[in-house]
């Protein structure tokens, strides 16, 4: 396969794409299992003991509260639980052993976006994560779509909770077509958008914050949307909703859209049309199941030909940096996750916080600017030097220096690069870092050399600010 000449290279490529960043322990464990077995294990998250992920969740007891309990424990409109959800997402990405699950939670949270934090979902956005996204992230898209569309968070976020037969609100009905399933290219009409909204009338939220169905609010009459039709004559239209969502999940345009979404995430910003078509066929043949699509994707020649074709977005870069540095969870509180969460605000990508229904863009052009680059450099140096965010459990950067210590600056920089990146640092990058230190690659490393002293954090930060680390 082009560019990946060995099985170790293929495994390393898979780990860069299917996780939040490779670490020495991850690479060692996946190597022992083998690429195929590691992937199968990741596709079955309950089979993976995850004490680190469990420890993250235990730090945020608010996430176990029901909507009613949130209302009774917090002041009206408080965003505290939503902030906890964002901080927990960072911790799970950084430390969970169920790495592919955490990646797919991010994928679906963007595709079926309910902005967090945002008004009106302060009591239920964390339940949307727990009841919709996580249970279905590696299951059938049809089940995920129905769970998302009928959840109080989505019903509130896209105004279906107030949609009635006298005044159907088109927000959810439109986004269901435009964003969640077939896409704007499917050729639906404005009349079909109206029927989509009419089908969903009756789906609402009760006074306790739970999803409910009100037959008195349901619009009745014949409906037709993209090959789906129903007389819709009963006041209880819940069966029509289920049939309609099932139809959309299985629509050929939805198959292509989900295939494109996954290929864009895991292969390239402009995925090959041939790959998309094959993945769409797999999606249809597998009755909308996601795991078979991922198996086909991760074994495709297009995937292995795409090394370094994707760029880490700010959130991915920051979490990968935490993982590369070997930082662990703080023993008390959540100061390190709180600091990282707010640091990501300056980089424009806090977990789940994209303000529009379409979710964060997953193409490099959306994140390429001088301001974004400077923000990433500053956060990387702050993490490496221990300035900010503070609170991570760390053994010190000296633990990154190999023993016995390499004899020359070039050899030490190269060793640090391999340790941090789990791949070789190009010779030109090694030379550039040595030039920054005002030494040659062959200059001996002594006990008092700056590279093992006060300038070590800067060398580490330069490695983690390199294009090699940014590539995924």
DSSP letters spanning 56-73:
HHHT-GGGG--HHHHHHH
The distance in angstroms from the start CA to the end CA of the chain is 18
User: Does 139 fall in a domain?
Assistant: yes
User: Does 355 fall in a domain?
Assistant: no
- In the predicted structure, residue 276 carries a pLDDT above the cut 50: yes
Query: In this structure, are residues 154 and 133 in contact, taking their beta carbons and an 8 Å threshold?
Result: no
Give the per-residue pLDDT at 227.
98
- In the predicted structure, residue 142 carries a pLDDT above the cut 70: yes
User: Which residue, of 204, 229, 250, is where some domain finishes?
Assistant: 250
User: Which residue, of 250, 268, 292, is where some domain finishes?
Assistant: 250
pLDDT one-digit tens code per residue, 225-268: 999 999 999 999 999 999 999 999 999 999 999 999 999 999 99
- The residue-averaged pLDDT of 111-133 equals 97
CA distance 353 to 350: 6
pLDDT one-digit tens code per residue, 81-95: 999 999 999 999 999
Reported as a pLDDT band with limits 50, 70 and 90, residue 150 is very high
pLDDT one-digit tens code per residue, 412-448: 999 999 999 999 999 999 999 999 999 999 999 999 9
Query: In this structure, are residues 274 and 256 in contact, taking their beta carbons and an 8 Å threshold?
Result: no
- In the predicted structure, residue 4 carries a pLDDT above the cut 90: no
CA distance 221 to 216: 14
Query: In this structure, are residues 252 and 180 in contact, taking their beta carbons and an 8 Å threshold?
Result: no
- The residue-averaged pLDDT of 54-78 equals 96
Q: Name 444's bridge partners.
A: 408
Query: In this structure, are residues 146 and 246 in contact, taking their beta carbons and an 8 Å threshold?
Result: yes
Give the per-residue pLDDT at 395.
86
User: Does 339 fall in a domain?
Assistant: no
Query: In this structure, are residues 284 and 250 in contact, taking their beta carbons and an 8 Å threshold?
Result: yes
CA distance 190 to 202: 21
Give the per-residue pLDDT at 356.
98
User: Does 454 fall in a domain?
Assistant: yes
Average pLDDT, the chain: 97
CA distance 470 to 308: 9
Q: How many domains does the chain have?
A: 2
pLDDT one-digit tens code per residue, 284-342: 999 999 999 999 999 999 999 999 999 999 999 999 999 999 999 998 889 999 999 99
Closest CA relative to residue 18, chosen from 1, 36, 3, 5? 36
Compute and round to an integer the Cα radius of gyration of the chain: 24
Query: In this structure, are residues 20 and 102 in contact, taking their beta carbons and an 8 Å threshold?
Result: yes
User: Which residue, of 229, 250, 271, is where some domain finishes?
Assistant: 250
For residue 227, give Cα distances in angstroms to 154, 239, 244, 302, 326: 25, 17, 10, 33, 53
Give the per-residue pLDDT at 467.
96
Give the per-residue pLDDT at 3.
60
Give the per-residue pLDDT at 429.
98
User: Does 310 fall in a domain?
Assistant: no
Closest CA relative to residue 75, chosen from 130, 115, 122? 122
Q: Name 471's bridge partners.
A: 311
Query: In this structure, are residues 318 and 51 in contact, taking their beta carbons and an 8 Å threshold?
Result: no
261 contacts: CB under 8 Å, gap ≥ 6: 107, 111
- In the predicted structure, residue 223 carries a pLDDT above the cut 90: yes
Q: Strand runs (DSSP E) across 138-278, as ranges? A: 203-205, 211-213, 223-225, 228-230
User: Does 428 fall in a domain?
Assistant: yes
- In the predicted structure, residue 1 carries a pLDDT above the cut 50: no
Query: In this structure, are residues 263 and 227 in contact, taking their beta carbons and an 8 Å threshold?
Result: no
Q: What angle, 0 to 180 degrees and rounded to 10, lies between the N-to-C axes of helices 335-347 and 314-324?
A: 140
User: Does 366 fall in a domain?
Assistant: no
What is the domain range of residue 133?
7-250
Among the residues of 186-272, which ranges form H helices?
190-200, 238-250, 252-266
Give the per-residue pLDDT at 333.
85
User: Does 416 fall in a domain?
Assistant: yes
pLDDT one-digit tens code per residue, 329-377: 998 889 999 999 999 999 999 999 999 999 999 999 999 999 999 999 9
Q: Using a pLDDT cut of 90, give the percent of the chain over it.
A: 97
Residue 408: what are its φ and ψ, rounded to 5°? Answer: -120, 160
Residue 62: what are its φ and ψ, rounded to 5°? Answer: -60, -25
């Amino acid at each position: 396969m082009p560019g990946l000449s060995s099985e170790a290279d293929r495994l390393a490529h898979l780990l860069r794409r299917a996780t939040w960043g490779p670490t020495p322990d991850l690479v060692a464990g996946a190597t022992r299992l083998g690429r195929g077995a590691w992937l199968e294990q990741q596709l079955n998250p309950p089979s993976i003991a995850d004490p680190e992920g469990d420890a993250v969740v235990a730090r945020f007891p608010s996430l176990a509260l029901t909507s009613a309990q949130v209302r009774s424990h917090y002041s009206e409109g408080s965003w505290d639980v939503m902030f906890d959800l964002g901080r927990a997402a960072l911790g799970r990405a950084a430390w969970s052993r169920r790495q592919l699950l955490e990646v797919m939670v991010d994928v679906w949270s963007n595709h079926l976006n309910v902005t967090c934090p945002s008004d009106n979902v302060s009591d239920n956005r964390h339940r949307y994560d727990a009841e919709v996204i996580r249970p279905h992230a590696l299951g059938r898209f049809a089940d995920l779509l129905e769970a998302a569309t009928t959840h109080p968070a989505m019903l509130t976020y896209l105004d279906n909770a107030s949609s009635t037969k006298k005044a159907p609100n088109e927000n959810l009905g439109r986004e269901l077509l435009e964003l969640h399933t077939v896409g704007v290219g499917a050729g639906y009409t404005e009349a079909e958008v109206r029927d989509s909204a009419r089908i969903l009338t009756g789906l609402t939220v009760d006074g306790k914050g739970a999803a409910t169905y009100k037959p008195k609010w349901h619009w009745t009459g014949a409906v037709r949307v993209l090959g789906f039709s129903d007389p819709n004559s009963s006041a209880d239209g819940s069966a029509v909703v289920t049939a309609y969502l099932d139809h959309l999940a299985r629509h050929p345009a939805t198959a292509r859209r989900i295939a494109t979404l996954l290929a864009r995430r895991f292969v390239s910003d402009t995925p090959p049309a041939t790959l998309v078509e094959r993945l769409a066929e797999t999606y249809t043949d597998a009755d909308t199941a996601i795991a078979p699509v991922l198996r086909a994707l991760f074994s495709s020649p297009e995937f292995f030909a795409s090394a370094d074709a994707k760029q880490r977005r700010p959130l991915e870069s920051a979490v990968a940096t935490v993982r590369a540095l070997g930082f662990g969870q703080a023993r008390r509180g959540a100061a390190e996750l709180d600091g990282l969460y707010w640091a990501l605000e300056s980089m424009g990508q806090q977990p789940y916080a994209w303000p529009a229904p379409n979710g964060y863009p997953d193409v490099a052009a959306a994140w390429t600017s001088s301001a974004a680059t400077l923000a990433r450099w500053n956060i990387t140096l702050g993490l490496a030097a221990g300035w900010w965010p503070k609170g991570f459990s760390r053994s010190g950067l000296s633990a990154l220096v190999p023993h016995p210590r390499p004899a020359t600056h070039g050899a030490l920089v190269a060793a640090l690069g391999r340790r941090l990146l789990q791949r070789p640092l190009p010779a030109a990058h090694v030379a550039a870092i040595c030039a920054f230190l005002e030494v040659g690659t062959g200059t001996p490393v002594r006990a008092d050399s700056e590279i093992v002293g006060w300038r070590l954090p800067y060398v580490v930060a330069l490695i983690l600010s390199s294009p090699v680390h940014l590539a995924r």
